[in-house]
Amino acid sequence: MGRMENWGEIYGLINLTRLKISDRDVLEQLTDGTLRRLTAEVVVNRGVYDRLPPWERATARAFAVGMTMDKAVIGGQAAARLWGLQTLGVESTVPCYLPDGGTPKSPKLWPDGVTYRYGHLPTRDVRECHGIRVTGLISTFLDIACHENLHATVVAIDSARARWSRITRGSLLKEIVALRRRRGIGVLREAVELSVQNSGSAQETRARLILEEADLPGVETVEIQVRFDREEGKRFYVVDFLINGWIVVEVDGLVKYRSHSPEDLRATIRAERDREKFFTNRGYRVLRIAPSHLNAVDGEECDFLRLLRLTLLEEPPAHLRRSA
């Protein structure tokens, strides 16, 4: 596993407790609103912070909390994000532990934006990087399994396996043997079994799990991250899923249409149309799924599954039927 990014440098976080008397410009920027507080002691440029997507703002907040803690260790999805992993959700407060069974003080005394979790965290499971302390990878996964859900745990593990090739299903199963009596181990073990090494995003992982759990009649094969070469041989497309050899599923990310200019947005839309035309001209059925299509409302089936059910009723093109 590689080292953690120095998020403090990346986001330009400033620790007010380390300022010199001569650093008056920082105090002036804090007064005029150029800087905003992430914690009582750490500030960041307001414009930079406000332009970040929610998960990056959460990363900055978590690192800021870590900069101010003497003993506490950051855990859960916040720790996963600090390790550079994708997560399924963004927490409203940063979860922290005290190592070796330390007891948190009264919640009334917790700093704003921090939630202490009760549980034994051995010192051997703590990693220190760039002056902050976070849970190690396995402890991070276990914490997510305990406090989030199966899908969130698989998302973090998928992201780790895609990021570091040496992390495999087998290596993870060996490492968690020592945790067999820890709370959440059953969820963690199942998440490891469900994980893959080539997921492209958190939402793709979520869609895959929803599809597997639905066990729809008519779904015979599901291929992940399938490459299609273009005729000229220099370019290729990779699709999230290919179902039954003829249904292409594209799970759109949350930042797809975040654009710095109208020109960038038009270029994105144009490239998307060219991509879809490539598949439809060859007889593939393309389903473009937004993250909201994965949400099941009031216990009903999500839009993704409803759309896929209808598509499965169609006849595949003759030239693709052999693989369907």
pLDDT tens-digit series, residues 193-207: 999 999 999 999 999
Task: Clarify whether residues 187 and 104 are in a common domain.
Answer: yes
Going by C-alpha positions, the residue among 53, 97, 91 that lies closest to residue 72 is 97
Task: Clarify whether residues 93 and 148 are in a common domain.
Answer: yes
Task: Clarify whether residues 176 and 49 are in a common domain.
Answer: yes
Residue 106: the pLDDT is 84
Q: Residue 318: CB partners within 8 Å, gap ≥ 6?
A: none
Within-domain flag for 1: no
Within-domain flag for 184: yes
Within-domain flag for 17: yes
DSSP 21: T
Buried b (16+ CB within 10 A) or exposed e, 267-297: eeeeeeeebbebbeeeebbbbebbbebbeee
Which residue, of 162, 194, 226, is where some domain finishes? Answer: 194
Q: In this structure, what CATH number is given to the domain that contains residue 231? A: 3.40.960.10
Task: Clarify whether residues 249 and 316 are in a common domain.
Answer: yes
Q: In the sheet where 14-15 sits, what is the strand order?
A: 14-15, 42-45, 35-37
Burial of 52 (0-12, 13-18, 19+ CB in 10 A): middle
Task: Clarify whether residues 176 and 218 are in a common domain.
Answer: no
The DSSP bridge partners found for residue 238 are: 227
Residue 257: the pLDDT is 54
Nearest 5°: phi and psi at 81? -65, -35
Within-domain flag for 47: yes
Which residue, of 160, 194, 228, is where some domain finishes? Answer: 194
Task: Clarify whether residues 63 and 130 are in a common domain.
Answer: yes
First-to-last alpha carbon distance for the chain, in angstroms, is: 39
Task: Clarify whether residues 45 and 160 are in a common domain.
Answer: yes
Token pair 């800021």 is found at 64
Q: In the sheet where 285-289 sits, what is the strand order?
A: 222-229, 236-243, 247-251, 285-289
Task: Clarify whether residues 87 and 68 are in a common domain.
Answer: yes
Tally the domains of the chain: 2
The pTM assigned to this predicted structure is 0.91
What residue numbers bound the domain in which 181 lies? 7-194
Task: Clarify whether residues 87 and 223 are in a common domain.
Answer: no
Residue 260: the pLDDT is 58
pLDDT tens-digit series, residues 212-256: 999 999 999 999 999 998 876 678 889 999 999 999 999 986 555
Which residue, of 194, 211, 246, is where some domain finishes? Answer: 194
Q: Decide if 64 contacts 13 (C-beta within 8 A).
A: yes
Task: Clarify whether residues 38 and 183 are in a common domain.
Answer: yes
Residue 324: the pLDDT is 44
Task: Clarify whether residues 122 and 27 are in a common domain.
Answer: yes
Q: What share of the chain is helix, strand, coil (3-state, %, to 5)?
A: 45, 15, 40
Within-domain flag for 298: yes
Within-domain flag for 2: no
Task: Clarify whether residues 267 and 307 are in a common domain.
Answer: yes
- Residue 127 neighbours by CB distance under 10 Å: 20
Within-domain flag for 159: yes
Does an H or E element contain 95, and which?
strand 94-97
Within-domain flag for 28: yes
Positions of the chain with pLDDT under 50: 323-324
Dihedral over alpha carbons 135, 139, 141, 146 (to 10 degrees): -110
Q: Decide if 133 contacts 69 (C-beta within 8 A).
A: yes
